[in-house]
Amino acid sequence: MKKLINAVENVVREQLEGMASAHADVLKVSYEPTFIYRADAPVANKVALISGGGSGHEPMHGGFVGKGMLDAACPGEVFTSPTPDQMYAAGSAVNSGAGVLYIVKNYTGDVLNFEAAAEMLAGEGVPVQSILIDDDAAVKDSLYTAGRRGVGATVITEKITGAAAEAGYDLLQCADLCRKVNTSSRSIGVALTSCIVPAAGKPTFDLGDGEFEFGIGIHGEPGRRRLPMASVDEITEMMASAILDDGVYTRTVREWDQARGEWVDKELVNAPLRSGDGVIAFVNSMGGTPVSELYAMYRKLSGLLDARGIRIARNLIGPYITSLEMQGASITLVKVDDEILKFWDAPVLTPGLRWGV
């Protein structure tokens, strides 16, 4: 294992110290318990957005803390869920009184721990909502999830809901918008190489020189199947089909009902994209794949969407939700409307995503 690290047990801590030092104008870091938060938090009258999850997916989530996006992020150890006390402490720190929205990727550990934190916060009278992100069209259930995994849509929901919170949306409006972006999103990923978790010291999985993994998760967990290596055009076509030919996806999620003070089951429906739709096309590097190769993927993707009458309204191309140094890429398509586009275009000032300021 060759990485730019010191002792394995200090990897996350030292990376956070580097972030705090580099971006002191934007964010601060608490270490006991660990969370990253906006330097100007709590922001008066603004709903506070919080996400979190295992480290190793940078810039997500800590790199998305800042004006127009997250108020706080809770990093676990590499590929390990953060704990409820982190999420609770982050919520307490950044809540201005307008309430807290947790954006939770659908991984069992994250889900359980965010539920515990939401109950703790709610128990103190803090208005709280918790939205589950589950956009990965690759598999129905995975090694670490019941239901679909939360992947690329997380970045998009954080951006759009963050802008809405900045614009004055209240907690329920933010929750509705976040839910809408999630149910408008589908993703698929591929891996060409494994990554190495520092604490493990060896590749998470073995992938031969002549093969790739289709439908990979962001922790190196297995995807749909292992296939002989193919051209970027062929791989992109498989990925686009996995998203575009995915049928209606309906599922029941548990969400916190503030009025009733309990978790309630909610049915969500994700309808396929159709001709005439506009999308945000997000082509993401898993970390080790250079942006030049993402452009080759984007080239094919835009041709395929064009042939189906789907218009790319905006795009995002680069390493935004990664798996350490894994080579591979993911595609997320998000159906847009005027509300989504307005908040996508709104200013954002974070280490990982910045425009308009």
Helix (H, G, I), strand (E, B) or coil at 15: helix
Binding mask 265-294 for its own copies (x = CB under 8 A): ----------------------xxxxxxxx
**Side-chain half-sphere exposure of 44, counting CA atoms within 13 A:** 0
Does the active-site annotation cover 219? yes
- For its own copies, the closer of residues 2 and 225 by Cβ is 2
Q: Please check whether residue 297 is in contact with residue 128, taking contact to mean a CB–CB distance below 8 angstroms.
A: no
> Can you tell me which of 52, 54, 56, 189 binds its own copies, judged by CB under 8 A?
56
> Can you tell me which of 169, 212, 214, 249 binds its own copies, judged by CB under 8 A?
212
Handedness of CA 126, 166, 108, 146 (dihedral sign): positive
- For its own copies, the closer of residues 63 and 84 by Cβ is 63
To the nearest whole angstrom, how small is the minimum distance from the Cβ of residue 187 to its own copies? Answer: 17
Q: Which of 23, 28, 148, 219 is catalytic?
A: 219
Q: Is 297 in the site for its own copies (CB under 8 A)?
A: yes
- For its own copies, the closer of residues 94 and 192 by Cβ is 192
The size of the interface with its own copies (CB under 8 A), counted in residues, is 57
Binding mask 165-204 for its own copies (x = CB under 8 A): ---------------------------xx-----------
Does the active-site annotation cover 57? yes
Q: Please check whether residue 134 is in contact with residue 80, taking contact to mean a CB–CB distance below 8 angstroms.
A: no
Angstrom distance (rounded) from CA 227 to CA 87: 39
**Tokens coding 222:** 């297995």
Where residue 254 falls (left for φ over 0; alpha for ψ -120 to 50; beta otherwise) is beta
Q: Which amino acid is at 338?
A: D
**Tokens coding 271:** 């309808």
Edge-to-edge, what's the strand order for the sheet holding 211-214?
Answer: 225-228, 211-214, 185-191, 328-335, 278-285, 311-318
Q: Name the residues that contact its own copies, by CB under 8 A.
A: 2-7, 11, 14-19, 21-22, 55-56, 58-59, 63, 192-193, 209, 212, 229, 231-233, 235, 287-299, 302, 315, 317, 319, 322, 324-325, 327, 329, 351-352, 354-357
Which amino acids are annotated catalytic?
57, 219
